[in-house]
Structure 1
Amino acid sequence: MPDDQSRTNSEIVSRYREMTPKSEALFAQAKAIFPSGVTHDGRHLDPYGIYVDRAEGAYKWDVDGNKYIDFFGGHGALLLGHNHPVVMEAVGPALAKGTHFGANHALEVQWAQAVQALVPTAERVRFTSSGTEATLMGLRLARSYTGRHKLVRFKTHFHGWHDHMTGGYANHFDGTSPVGVLDGISDAVVLVAPNDRDGVREALKGGDIAAVILEPTGSSTGMVPTAPGFLEFLREETEKHGTVLIFDEVVTGFRVAPGGAQAHYGIKPDLTSLAKILAGGLPGGAIVGRKDLFDALDYAATAVSGKEKIQHPGTYNANPVSAAAGIAALDHIRTSDACAVANAMGDLVRDKINQVFVEEGVNWACYGTFSSFHTFLNPKGRKIDPLAFDALAIDYEELKGKPKGLSHRIRVAMLVNGVDLNGWPGGNISCMHTAADMEATAEAYRETIRMLRKEGEI
């Protein structure tokens, strides 16, 4: 629903507007500057999103002074929560020394060593400014190494916004090119349904696939979960065909476990893309993996082999302030129970929300793994038991399907009730969230359901 067509008879929207007048005023200014008034698609909300003034731990406060339990979590970057003291203590001295040297520095070496201490496959590391850049470099390395051009991706999996990764995530599942993307690029991408073993075998048998890339826990951090045994299958099939296997651990890296999904599952990809938690909540990404693949970036190795070197500049690669934050965050994750605490809170909140769904008689389900949760809004009206919901029994298109306008209305109602969710709707949990936060979140869902029923939305 366009912003200017938001329901005027909604008590939910009316209450939201009453509590967020300063956010509304800022949005009015933003609409004259930014497309749709936002700087990230995930921040688009009808009638408008909140404008945050400050954050601490598991909470944030908007410009109107309203406090929210935060499940956006910096788009997944904040496993340690907002302003974790270990990270903040590291950033201050680094910032005082300088924001950019345009030269090598000791912190980039320490940061890479911190990555190697956790990620099992990080024989070599190349820092980037974002996860999008990391997957782009991963694809380039795979093509250089194999001499092949095609890429296998799984429908609904997200790998950033560069041209090879746009179609097949939210639309264009037929392989056609999204607007602004050249047909030739889309022609080099083979889209396969999630968990489709036959589709993978068919794609690989031609011998022209440079790489297979996926989110190891499933698309959108498990909204469409990966079936048991599928990662092992991919590892075997890619090795058989000489194809590079890339795990996109931009979200799962250092979250699922200190060593990421690959450490948890014991599967070794050839390349791994990292970002978010990697830089302790500051901008930063990396591609890591096998040394022989990284030789394409190496001056000496390419001189010996006679192969063309892959060029890779990047103004903010291994930025010293991001490096300081990343070193502190990764060291804390390595030496603490941060991942285990966040994962335990994930189990708790999913259980509590599903209890609310049962008690309120709503045919939804809260599901997920590790420290993320998702709400299945049941677009086909299935009769389900929230306490026994199996996401693997539901088609990926149905899991991703959201009844028109309902996701936005849920998010607005949850904000009214003191909780900021991702647009799934769902969220990422930090080690700073508490059992009391999980209880409050479940009760916010209860009140949201009642508000939606009153307005005839469900």
Structure 2
Amino acid sequence: MAQVATATTISQEFAERFAGSLTRYQRARQVIPGGITHDGRHLRPFPISVTRANGAHKWDVDGNELIDFVVGHGSLILGHNNPAVTAAVAAQLEHGTHFGAGHEGEALWAEKIVELVPSAKRVKFTSSGTEATLLAMRLARAATGRPTILKFEGHFHGWNDYALKGEAPPFDRATSPGIPDAVMGTVAVVPANDIAAVDARLAEGGIAGIIIEPSGGSWATIPLAEGFLQQLRDVATKHGSVLIFDEVITGFRWSPGGAQARLGVTPDLTTLAKIVAGGLPGGAVAGRADLLDLLAFRDDATWNAQHKVRHPGTFNANPLSAAAGIACLTQCANPELQAGCDQLAALLRAGLNAIFVDRSLPGFAWGESSAFH
């Protein structure tokens, strides 16, 4: 009897090729909500489970070698297992992982950021980008005495309660599960590239700070019009609002000094994460000395109790993250690194677009610097 050919679907082929990942995913779902620890790892039919990585490649539990186009959610500009970063972390491990005290690495790390980032006169470390944007907003409110943060449609600033409004369509949605209406009411959302709308909202009053991805929303998914950042700088100064650049992704990637150095516009505060910690957990707020000094204790009990901006944090400037960050930023100081990454991304975008045209597929690839969509 003749055999009837059975078509194999893409999903079936994927399940067979990545069977070990499926097993691990099913196990994880028993103890981890949805089986994932980051919303960005939600993939259909299931996510890949990786066992090791090196350079621009990673290997899953089934031994499949994969090209990693995202490398650590964008935190590994040097690739996986960069020798200098790995050596620095290994050396620090011998001395301790958590001193619960000041250490030389935190000052060296901060000095490297001040050296590279135009807006950075002071630096305060956090454990993530989300914490960094939360702290920057708090500083803006404390400095101005105003309650509201202005942000832009489609711009991502982490997952803290003040960052999610307007991040995804519909941009005018006024509620988000788990976030009180009162909190949502302290965030104003306007379209990007409309400086008249920004100026009008600032004129209404109450805006402590303006936060923006200087690349455009969601790392250049929604590009900014030429000149918009300078216009934003001007109206922020005009109305006395703190201008915050969220450089969690663009920092040290758009240039050694981030998007602000590349584009020639300096904010009052800058939020950093990802590359700043060399692939380990870590973030920072950098910026004007008078703003960051709101975090400092003084020989004044009234100031310390009533005016100082509070910011504890168990893992702030952790020695391992500091070691990785210093080793990474030392290499990021060479602009040839960013130029090489930009060239690779440009080739990738051009190649993808050529495939779309060749196969008559709808869509296109775009992006800036070493990002692509």
Asked if TM exceeds 0.5, the reply is yes
**Do the aligned partners of residues 199 and 239 (structure 1) sit closer, same or farther apart at CA in structure 2, a change above 3 Å counting?**
same
Q: 2:238: which partner in 1?
A: 240
Contact preservation (8 Å) 2:146, 2:206: yes
- 2: distance between equivalents of 1:156 and 1:125? 27
Alignment of 1:202-213 (within 5 A): 202-213=200-211
- 1: distance between equivalents of 2:253 and 2:117? 12
TM-score by length of 1: 0.78
- 2: distance between equivalents of 1:85 and 1:245? 37
Contact preservation (8 Å) 1:152, 1:190: yes
Contact preservation (8 Å) 1:297, 1:312: yes
Structure 2: which amino acid aligns with 1:345?
A: L
- 1: distance between equivalents of 2:150 and 2:179? 17
Alignment of 1:212-361 (within 5 A): 212-300=210-298, 308-335=307-334, 337-361=336-360
From the two aligned structures, give the one with the greater helix fraction: 1
Encode CA deviations 1:246-280: one digit per residue, 9 max, x unaligned. Answer: 00000000000010000001101000000000000
Q: 1:35: which partner in 2?
A: 33
Structure 1: which amino acid aligns with 2:323?
A: A
Contact preservation (8 Å) 1:175, 1:189: no
Q: 2:3: which partner in 1?
A: none
Encode CA deviations 1:40-91: one digit per residue, 9 max, x unaligned. Answer: 1100111101000100000100010001110121111011100011111111
- 1: distance between equivalents of 2:167 and 2:233? 23
Contact preservation (8 Å) 1:247, 1:272: yes
Contact preservation (8 Å) 2:126, 2:313: yes
3-state SS of paired residue (1:75) = coil
- 1: distance between equivalents of 2:191 and 2:99? 45
- Which 4+ residue blocks in structure 1 deviate beyond 4 angstroms? 301-307
- 1: distance between equivalents of 2:142 and 2:244? 14
Structure 2: which amino acid aligns with 1:47?
A: P
Q: 1:128: which partner in 2?
A: 126
Contact preservation (8 Å) 1:270, 1:289: yes
- 1: distance between equivalents of 2:115 and 2:294? 24
- 2: distance between equivalents of 1:167 and 1:156? 9
Q: 1:402: which partner in 2?
A: none
- 1: distance between equivalents of 2:239 and 2:96? 47
Q: Displacement, 1:198? A: 2.3
Alignment of 1:20-31 (within 5 A): 20-31=18-29
- 1: distance between equivalents of 2:300 and 2:211? 25
- 2: distance between equivalents of 1:128 and 1:364? 39
Alignment equivalent of 1:17, drawn from 8, 11, 15: 15
- 1: distance between equivalents of 2:171 and 2:341? 33
Contact preservation (8 Å) 1:295, 1:302: no
- 1: distance between equivalents of 2:170 and 2:177? 10
Q: Displacement, 1:303? A: 6.0
Can you give the 5+ residue segments of structure 1 that lack an aligned partner in the other structure? 1-8, 375-458
Encode CA deviations 1:417-452: one digit per residue, 9 max, x unaligned. Answer: xxxxxxxxxxxxxxxxxxxxxxxxxxxxxxxxxxxx
Query: Percent identical across equivalent pairs?
Result: 49
Structure 1: which amino acid aligns with 2:354?
A: Q
Q: 1:183: which partner in 2?
A: 181
Between the two proteins, the alignment pairs up a number of residues equal to 367
3-state SS of paired residue (2:72) = helix
